[in-house]
Amino acid sequence: MQGPLNTTEGPVETADSVDKVLGNLRRLAASRAFDELENLWIEAVESPQVVGDKLGSFVDVAEAVFRAAKEASRAGALAELLLGSLGESTQPQDAIRLYGLLVRCFPGKKDYRAAFAERYERAYPLASAERVFYEASGFTTGANPAQALTRLEKLLKFREGSFVYHASGWGVGKVLAVDPFLKQVRVDLEHKKDHRIAINAVDSILEPLPADSFRVLIHQGGDELKRLRDDDPVRLVSLLLDTFGSPIVLKDMKAHLIPRVIDAAGWNRWWNRAKGLLRDAGHFRVGDRAPYPVERLEKAVSYEDELLRNFKKSEWQQARQIARQVARRGPGELEAAWQGIREFLISFAQSSSGPNAIEAALILDRGEPGGGRDILRRLFQSLKAQELVTTLQDLPGVDEQRRAVESLPETRPEDWTDLAVLIFKCRRDSLRDAALELLEKRSPERIQATLRELVKAPKAAPEAFCFMLQAHLKGAAHSSLDVFKSRGPRELLVLVMDLLEHLQHQAERKGRVTFKDLVGRVEDLLERKDGEFFREGIRQMSSEDRRELYARVVKNESLLPQVKGALLQAMIEVEPSIHLEKETPPWEENCIYVTQAGLEKRKDEFREITEVKLPKNFKDIGRAREFGDLSENAEYTAALEERDNLTKRATRMEEELKKVKLITPDMVPKDTSGLGSKIHLRNVRTGQEVTYSVLGPWDGGPEDGVLSYLSPLGREFHGRREGEEVEAHLPGGTEVYKLLRLGSHFDKDG
């Protein structure tokens, strides 16, 4: 033999030399080097007497070529070269296998078909199970002998003592006997004992199982699987893939293993270990995103190669999760993957701008301390202060936001304190918290001055005021909270109530969602711990201050009914005489009055949340969860926040809908104004005339010609008669209106 494959000198004569040749043949078959394999094969089979008792091993290689190459003619040519090695000493099984391979390669050659039949029938007598299976396969009568051989191989697996599986519900079992005379197989299944099946049908009803398959091992009690759980997790996962297919998703894997093989409490620890071993093995792909599939690979691939491959093929939203994961690697880990990702991040950050470029620079900086700092400095320097704050607010990932803020003294040394103050006043609490920590550490006098201004004028930065007040009420350890601690509960409550009315007025005027969200945040402060903050504040007020506050709450139509009711009840508990001094309105304070049209409008809004927005949000949460790394997944966090907001709104609306009382025509008073009245007014100062219907809070606003009976103006005109002048105290100032004419909202001519 010539070249590197020459493992012997001279003819192939010894058993050792034949074994070496066989080893090379197997290697070449596995690597699909078929031309080299043919050359070595021809030399090896030149001496038929040497192949001898190794014939079965040569047939193994030829079958491997048949399976791998999908080239019947090549495998058949190799098999034909073995025919000269057949002799009287050849094992019957080896000869049967050789002719079986030739039949598969050349199904039209009758000589090979006849030779297989002659060898098989000589080896197995009529009364044997093998002969009955052979007859059932249709080899001698069917038109396709290769197909018949495939069926025969499967039928032969139903020998006595073999394990089987009934997929339709009878479970795992064992073949008790094969009756060649009745041509039946007798089996014991989990849910069908001593069952008889015709041999002609057995392969369509039962699935043969290897003795070491997952189903068999679990059927036998699972002791071997528990051993694999501890000693060889990779083998255990391989058994699952063999049984249930590749890939298998994590939730299905858990369902098969818990609790019979692994306790639920120990799952996470076991899976973290198994995942590492699977990746190290190289022949498995373990997904990092839902549904976390585990797949067996034909060729070994390193975990680093997989990470890099997934990074390069993914959009930025997914790629950044992989980049973060690799950047957090331990010493000496994932270096090859990091170098590939690093090159991309540098190019991406240098050629783009905005939050994605900043995020890329921050990931670089995390993966290689200082590695992205120059890029970050360039990006930060290219933006004006407010532009930078706006950009950082769009930056996903709480950790990235914090590290961006912490870098300011280095990346914007000339104005970092001014920037930190702007960030402290922005709309994102995560950024605000990072800016507060930085200022407390590096410029405590600046944050103290900022907070003193904040307490004097909460309207200038309402988000920051609410954030700090909430921290104060929770007893947080921020040194900057001294300015809040120096103000008593009464003073803080007055600030909150003033801020609430300001935000409500802004929300009504501008209709901005931001203001509505802020109103909700202030209401949450008032409701905190069953109104503890509110109660403590009113306890420190004088009776006159409480009465004034009571009147403000009563007139505040924008407060949610349950919030309003809780605040009024708290004031009555502190000073019971307050509510006795007020004229009792003709409506129940714990009810919400509205027309049928207003009620339907509110129901539509409720259905929009429960049937459209919430289902869409749940899908958004599912999609965001697929991005992985939930601890730093801004999309996932935002989707959860949206879910909480929608759920809270839906719960409140559901409670409000239970309190509805309809405004009907028969409720409208005739001589005075009240629920359902249409009032025609003239502004005494301007002479402008307007007409309003006094209806519920869901029936519309002044722009729709509707005054809520709970609004300041609506309350002022309750019980008024035609000709009366009314002084109305409105958010924009005091106006005097004359009631010109009364009518009914339900009367078209009213």
CB atoms < 10 A from the CB of 274, how many? 21
Q: Token pair of 168, please?
A: 């339709």
Three-state SS at 398: helix
* Long-range contact pairs involving 539-548 (C-beta distance under 8 Å, separation at least 24): 539/489, 539/574, 540/488, 540/489, 540/490, 541/490, 541/493, 543/575, 545/490, 546/571, 546/574, 546/575, 546/578, 547/578, 547/581
Instruction: List all residues 6 or more positions away from 509 whose beta carbon is below 8 Å from its beta carbon.
Output: none
Task: Tell me the one-letter amino acid at 713.
Answer: L
Tokens 């064992």, residue?
174
Q: Token pair of 111, please?
A: 């000589």
CA distance between the termini of the chain: 114
Compute CA distances 171 → 49, 117, 160, 166, 187, whole Å.
49, 36, 18, 5, 11
Per-10-residue mean pLDDT, the chain, length 750? 39 65 87 88 76 84 82 85 85 91 91 93 90 91 90 92 91 92 92 91 92 92 93 93 91 92 92 88 81 83 80 84 84 84 88 87 85 87 90 84 91 92 89 90 91 88 86 78 83 84 71 63 73 82 83 73 73 73 60 91 90 85 61 65 84 88 89 90 91 89 84 79 81 79 82
Three-state SS at 380: helix
For the chain, domains (ranges, CATH) are: 15-123 (1.25.40), 214-301 (no CATH), 592-662 (1.10.287.180), 665-744 (3.10.50.30)
CB atoms < 10 A from the CB of 512, how many? 11
Please report the pLDDT score of residue 662 as a whole number: 92
- The answer to whether the Cα torsion of 341, 384, 417, 430 is positive or negative is negative
Q: Are 261 and 226 in contact (CB under 8 A)?
A: yes
